[in-house]
Structure 1
Amino acid sequence: MSEDLMATEEAGRDVLNRLMAMTRELGEPQRDYVILSEGNTSALLDDGTYWVKASGEPLAKAGPGAFVRVQHSHVLALVNGLDLTEGEMRAELGAARVNAEGAALPSIEAAMHAVCLSLEGVFFVGHTHPPAVNAILCSRRARSAFRRPLYPVETALWRSPLFVRHAPPGQPLARQLQRALEGYGRKHVEAPSAILLEGHGLAALGNTPQAVLDTTALVVKMARILVGTYALGGPRWVE
C-alpha cells in the first residue's frame, strides 16, 4: 500500500471515530433527541466519499459497523436523476457504497445528507427528531416559530435556520431541500447551521462534530422556550 493511500485510509478512520463519538452523544437517552433507531449522521471525506449511518442502527450504540461509506457524486446523481420509488432509491443507495459487498445499507436519508455535505464549510451533519422541536414543526405555526432569536445569548450564536416544507424521506426530501437552499442562498452568504424539516425533525450542520452538537442543543433549548411562551401569549422576539 502506498504512503498516500495509507494516509487517506488513516484520515478516513479519524473522521469515522469523530463521527461515532458525535453520533453516540446525539443518541444519549437523557438528551431526548431520538428513540430506537431514529436519526442519522454523516461526515464528509476528502476523497469524494462520505460516511453515513446505516439503516436501522441506533445512534446511542453507534460503532464502526453502524456506518456505511458511499460515493458522494453517485448519491447526488440519484437526487438529480430520474424519479425513483423508495424501493428503487434504497437499491441505488446500496450500489453507491464504496464496499458494495457489505451487509449494511445506507439510511434512506443518505440523499439528504449528500445535499447538506455539498454546502461550503459543512463536513458533519446530525439529523435528530427532538420532541421539543417536533412539537413545533408538527404544528400550524411551524414556519414562523423559529424566524427570530428569543434571548441575548442566542442572538450572539444565531444564524437564520432554513425551513423545509414536508416531503417523504429519500429523493423527494432531498429535492425539496435543494429548492429551499436555492432560495436561502439568495438571501444569505453562509450555509444554514440548522435545517428545520416540517413534520419531521432537525438537521444540524457544521465544520466539526462540536458545531453540530452545539447547534442541536441551541435549537432544542429554543424550542422548549418557544412552547412555553405560547402558553403565555406567544413569544417576544429580541430586536
Structure 2
Amino acid sequence: MSTSWDPSLTTPELLTLTRLLGEPARDLAVLAEGNTSQRLDDGRLVVKASGANLGSATAEDFVVVDVDEVMAIVDDPAATQDDLTAVLVAAGATRPDGGPRRGSIETVVHAAVQQVAALLGTGPDVARYIGHTHPTDVVGLLASVRAAEAWERIVYSDEAVVVGRPLFVPYATPGIDLGRIYASGLRQHAERHGALPQLVLLANHGIVAIAPTTAGVEAVSTMAVKGARVRATAYAVGGLAPLTDEQVTKFFARDDIDERRTNLALGR
C-alpha cells in the first residue's frame, strides 16, 4: 500500500485531539507546527498532512500512510530524504493551491512508534493515538545545557503516574535523520523496559505523547509542560532534588498507581 488521501478515515476523535493540541492558549504549537496520528485497525496511520495547522485542521488535512513502507525507507541506510518525501506523497491528490498532499515530514515519528509496538507484541491500542508538539516551556529546557539531564530522573509523584519513564532523543534534523535516531532510541527503550515510553523528548525540538486514547495524549502533553516548569523553577533556585530510584520503584510497584495510570491513559 502507498500513501493515500481519504478524508472519510479521519475520525472525529483524531480531529478533536488535533484542534485541542493546536489551541493557542495551550502554547503547544503555533502556525503549522506539530502533528497527530491515529492507527487504523488495518495497521495504517492517518497522519496530519504537511503544512496544515493543528488548531484549524479539517478532515481534508490528513493522509493515510503505510507504516512498513515508511519504515523501510528509514531503515535503509542508502535511502535519502528525497526517498522519504516521495513515499509520503498521496498519489493523485492535490491541495486547493495545486500542491501535492503529503504526510508531514515528521511522519517518521509516528511510524516508528507503531513499528516498535509491533515488535513488542503489544495490543494495537497501546499506541492508537500520537501527538507531536513543540511546547515553549519544554523546548526551552530541551534547547538548554540541561537538556540531556533534565528528565533523567522523576521529580514528583504525579509525573511518575502520567508520564512514567520518558525517552530523551538527541537532536537530529527533522525527517529521515530524526527518524533513524528516534527509531533506535525507541527500540533501546523497549528492550530495557519492555514497553514503549509514553513521552519522548526530542532535543531542541519538542515532544511526542503516546497513548491508547486522545485523553491520554492530552494528559501526557499537559504533564510534560508542567514537568518543564517544575524543572525550570528548581534549576532557578539551585537545582533538582529528584526522587530516588528506590522511591520510584516502590511507587511503580503499587497496584493503585498502576490502576490510576491505566485509567488516565484510557481517559477515565
In the superposition, the TM-score normalised over structure 2's length comes to 0.79
Structure 1 counterpart of 2:93: 102
- Tell me how far 1:82 sits from its aligned partner: 4.6
SS in 2 for 1:117: helix
Matched, 1:53 2:58: no
SS in 1 for 2:102: coil
For the residues of structure 2 that align with 1:155 and 1:82, how far apart are their CA atoms? 36
Structure 2 counterpart of 1:78: 73
Matched, 1:123 2:128: yes
- Tell me how far 1:234 sits from its aligned partner: 1.0
Aligned 1:115-194 pairs, distance under 5 A: 115-118=112-115, 119=117, 120=122, 121-194=126-199
What one-letter code is carried by the residue in structure 1 that aligns with 2:73?
Answer: L
Cα pair 1:150 1:236 within 8 Å, conserved: yes
What one-letter code is carried by the residue in structure 2 that aligns with 1:132?
Answer: D
SS in 2 for 1:43: strand
For the residues of structure 2 that align with 1:205 and 1:158, how far apart are their CA atoms? 10
Aligned 1:10-25 pairs, distance under 5 A: 13=9, 16-25=11-20
- Tell me how far 1:153 sits from its aligned partner: 2.3
Deviations 1:189-216 (A, max 9, x none): 2210000011111000111111111000
Structure 1 counterpart of 2:86: 91
Deviations 1:130-154 (A, max 9, x none): 0100111111111110122222322
Cα pair 1:27 1:33 within 8 Å, conserved: yes
- Mark the CA change 1:57 to 1:158 in structure 2 (over 3 Å): closer, same or farther: closer
- Tell me how far 1:105 sits from its aligned partner: 1.1
Cα pair 1:40 1:128 within 8 Å, conserved: yes
For the residues of structure 1 that align with 2:144 and 2:40, how far apart are their CA atoms? 37
Matched, 1:196 2:201: yes
- Out of 58, 64, 75, the residue aligned to residue 59 of structure 2 is 64
For the residues of structure 1 that align with 2:180 and 2:20, how far apart are their CA atoms? 29
Query: Which one is further off, 216-225 or 72-81?
Result: 72-81
SS in 1 for 2:127: coil
- Tell me how far 1:46 sits from its aligned partner: 1.4
Identical-residue share of aligned pairs (%): 37
- Mark the CA change 1:83 to 1:17 in structure 2 (over 3 Å): closer, same or farther: farther
For the residues of structure 1 that align with 2:204 and 2:162, how far apart are their CA atoms? 25
SS in 2 for 1:187: helix
Deviations 1:136-190 (A, max 9, x none): 1111111110122222322333411011111111111111012112221232022
Structure 2 counterpart of 1:29: 24
For the residues of structure 2 that align with 1:27 and 1:187, how far apart are their CA atoms? 33
Q: Which segments of 5 or more consecutive residues in structure 1 lack a partner in the other structure? A: 1-8
For the residues of structure 1 that align with 2:172 and 2:39, how far apart are their CA atoms? 24
Cα pair 2:133 2:208 within 8 Å, conserved: yes
Q: Which segments of 5 or more consecutive residues in structure 2 lack a partner in the other structure? A: 1-5, 95-100, 245-268
Matched, 1:218 2:215: no
For the residues of structure 2 that align with 1:168 and 1:139, how far apart are their CA atoms? 17
What one-letter code is carried by the residue in structure 1 that aligns with 2:83?
Answer: E
For the residues of structure 2 that align with 1:155 and 1:93, how far apart are their CA atoms? 36
For the residues of structure 2 that align with 1:223 and 1:178, how far apart are their CA atoms? 24
Number of residue pairs aligned between Structure 1 and Structure 2: 225
